[in-house]
Structure 1
Amino acid sequence: MPTTSRALLFAAEVRAGIQIKIAFKVPGSGDLTLRAEGPDGAVVDVADLIRHSGGSSWQAPGEEWGSNWTFSAPGCWTVRADRTDGTRAALALRVG
Structure 2
Amino acid sequence: MINKYIVYGRVQGVGFRYFVYKLSEKLKFNGSVKNLPDGSVEIVIDSNRQEEILKEIKKGNFFSHVENIIKTETLELSYDDFKILY
| TM-score scaled by length of structure 1 | 0.37
Per residue, is there more helix in 1 or in 2?
2
Structure possessing the higher radius of gyration over alpha carbons:
1
Pick 1 or 2: higher relative contact order, CA cutoff 8 A, min separation 6.
Answer: 2
TM-score, with length taken from structure 2: 0.39
